[in-house]
Structure formats: structure tokens, C-alpha cells
């Protein structure tokens, strides 16, 4: 049973296409968990706003949105959800999907969030991820997935800027899961990790 004045969270980390969104959404539907996807938060902004256009200038090329802008938008959204009752920090564990994505963001988010475990969705076979993303571009109309050079850039950005987060948190609190398994097997591995470590709150 978790007790902390900080917001409790589990971080899902993995290359683009590794299944963070699918798994985050699924676990986030369970009572006691709340899924937060920075990509979804960005995509929900008014497309005509200056902020949304600024974000698109980075994401359409597969680059990261600057840390300060990212943190401001996500923390504002979290506070709004806590205020309107959609998210209850005392009862729900955040499933962070896509945030933090740099070591700097990790340091910033740790000021108000306690990351209790890092679930690393590992997929060494980059080509299968590229194929998944191309399919996602068709299924979900994600324009940033449609262009192969943008996809390749997103992998380089992941390797250079996001993967160092694994070292930042360390092996002690990291669970590595083979993301090339069937999604239901990945889900099983995630729920097994969370239950065996007691990473859920009493309802």
C-alpha cells in the first residue's frame, strides 16, 4: 500500500511504436490507475492555437517539444484533471506514457511526482516497430507516423534523449518487458510486475 504526498506514478518507457499507448490506456482503465499520455494531451489542444502550431512544428519532424513547454502543458492538464475530479491523486496512480522523455523532464517531474517503477517496453527489432507505426498512421490518422524519414528520426531521438532516462532511474526500480510479445502477454507482464511489487493503492 503506497503512501506519499507526491503524486504516485508508474512510467512506461519504450521506443515509438513499442505499445506504450495501448498498454497505458488499458491499465489506465482499471480502477486506481490514471493514464496520462503527453502525445494525447498535445493532440487534444485546439489545432488553430499558436501553442498547437508550435508543438506541430516539432512533432511533425519527429523532434521533441522543448522541455519547458512540455512540462507546463502537462502539469497544467494534470492540475485541471485533479481540480475537475477526473483524476484523484489520493486514490489513483498515474500511468505516465511519453512523459518524461528526457532526463531533464525526469528531474522536473520528480518535483511533484514519485515514479515508483519504470516499465521498459523493450523491442530491439526496430523494423517491426516501423511496420507497426506505418499501420498506426493508417488506423489512427497520425501524420507523424506516415513519413518513414520522420519515423527514423523519432528512433534516433529516442536513443539519444529518452533512453538515458533508464540509467537515471536505475535497474532497481526498472522492469524490462519484451514488447515483441502479443499485447495480452505484455499486459500480463505489466500487471504481474505491479501486483508482485504491491504497486497499486487500496480502493
Cα Rg of the chain, angstroms = 16
CA distances from 101 to 4, 57, 121, 140 (A): 23, 18, 14, 22
Q: Look-up: residue for cell 486514490?
A: 91
Q: Characterise 136 by phi-psi region: left (phi > 0), alpha (psi -120 to 50), beta (else).
A: alpha
* Residues 188, 165: Cα–Cα separation, whole Å: 24
CA–CA dist 74, 101 (Å, integer): 12
Among residues 23, 26, 59, 117, the one that binds ligand ADP under rule CB under 6 A: 59
Q: Which stretch binds ligand ADP (CB under 6 A): 80-88, 94-102, 109-117, 176-184?
A: 94-102
Residue 20 makes contact with ligand ADP by CB under 6 A: yes
- Give me the least distance between CB of 56 and ligand ADP, in Å please: 9
Give me the least distance between CB of 63 and ligand ADP, in Å please: 6
Determine the interface stretch with ligand ADP among 84-92, 99-107, 122-130, 171-179 (rule: CB under 6 A). 99-107
| Residue 27 and residue 33 in contact, taking contact as beta carbons nearer than 8 Å | yes
- When CB distances to ligand ADP are compared, the closest residue is 39
Among 94, 99, 113, 151, binds ligand ADP (CB under 6 A): 99
Exactly one of 119, 130, 154, 189 binds ligand ADP (CB under 6 A); that residue is: 154
Q: Does 58 bind ligand ADP (CB under 6 A)?
A: yes
Q: For ligand ADP, which stretch binds (CB under 6 A), given 45-53, 95-103, 110-118, 189-197?
A: 95-103
Q: How many CA atoms lie within 13 A of 115 on its CB side?
A: 26
101 belongs to the binding site for ligand ADP (CB under 6 A): yes
Q: Is-contact 88 3, C-beta < 8 A?
A: no
Residues contributing to the site for ligand ADP (CB under 6 A): 16, 20-21, 37-39, 42, 58-59, 62-65, 70, 98-99, 101, 105, 144, 154
Amino acid at each position: 500500500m503506497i503512501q506519499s504526498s507526491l503524486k504516485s506514478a508508474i512510467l512506461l518507457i519504450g521506443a515509438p511504436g513499442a505499445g506504450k499507448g495501448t498498454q497505458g490506456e488499458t491499465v489506465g482503465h482499471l480502477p486506481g490507475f490514471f493514464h496520462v499520455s503527453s502525445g494525447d494531451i498535445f493532440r487534444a489542444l485546439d489545432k488553430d492555437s499558436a501553442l498547437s502550431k508550435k508543438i506541430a512544428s516539432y512533432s511533425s519532424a519527429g523532434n521533441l517539444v522543448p522541455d519547458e513547454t512540455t512540462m507546463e502543458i502537462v502539469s497544467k492538464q494534470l492540475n485541471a484533471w485533479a481540480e475537475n475530479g477526473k483524476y484523484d491523486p489520493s486514490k489513483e496512480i498515474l500511468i505516465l506514457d511519453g512523459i518524461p522523455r528526457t532526463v531533464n523532464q525526469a528531474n522536473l517531474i520528480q518535483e511533484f511526482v514519485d515514479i515508483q517503477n519504470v516499465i521498459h517496453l523493450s523491442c530491439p527489432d526496430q523494423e517491426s516497430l516501423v511496420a507497426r507505426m506505418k499501420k498506426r498512421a493508417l488506423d489512427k490518422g497520425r501524420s507523424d507516423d506516415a513519413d518513414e524519414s520522420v519515423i527514423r528520426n523519432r528512433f534516433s531521438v529516442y536513443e539519444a534523449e529518452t533512453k538515458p532516462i533508464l540509467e537515471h532511474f536505475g535497474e532497481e526500480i526498472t522492469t524490462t518487458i519484451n514488447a515483441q510479445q502479443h499485447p495480452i502477454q505484455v499486459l500480463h507482464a505489466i500487471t504481474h510486475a505491479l501486483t508482485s511489487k504491491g504497486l497499486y493503492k487500496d480502493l
